[in-house]
Amino acid sequence: MSVPDRTPDLPGRACVIGITSAGAALIDAVRQDNASRLAECVVRLDPADLAVMAAALPVLESLAQQVACRAGTGPGAAAATLA
């Protein structure tokens, strides 16, 4: 699949790129693999460690949102997401 030619608003000063469907599928596969590996580790945690993780979730979610917003991919971010 080819990437459509897009002319930037400021010729010579910007480059607009896109992702192919194959590239998007690869990113999705890598994300799924990472999530699966993490889940496999989490299920092996003992109950005390699971409780610590559960207590930490609000902070971890806040950090993830801050990182996503800085990258322009989170809720409230002006930029489009690269899914």
Long-range pairs, 72-80, Cβ under 8 A, ≥24: none
Q: List, for residues 5-36, the tens digit of each pLDDT value.
A: 666 566 667 777 899 999 999 999 999 999 99
Domain map (residue ranges) of the chain: 1-44, 46-75
Rounded CA separation 24/15 (Å) = 19
Q: Which residue has the higher pLDDT, 75 or 29?
A: 29
Q: List, for residues 34-69, the tens digit of each pLDDT value.
A: 999 999 999 999 999 999 999 999 999 999 999 999
Q: Which amino acid makes up residue 44?
A: R
Alpha helices (H) along 1-83:
21-42, 47-70
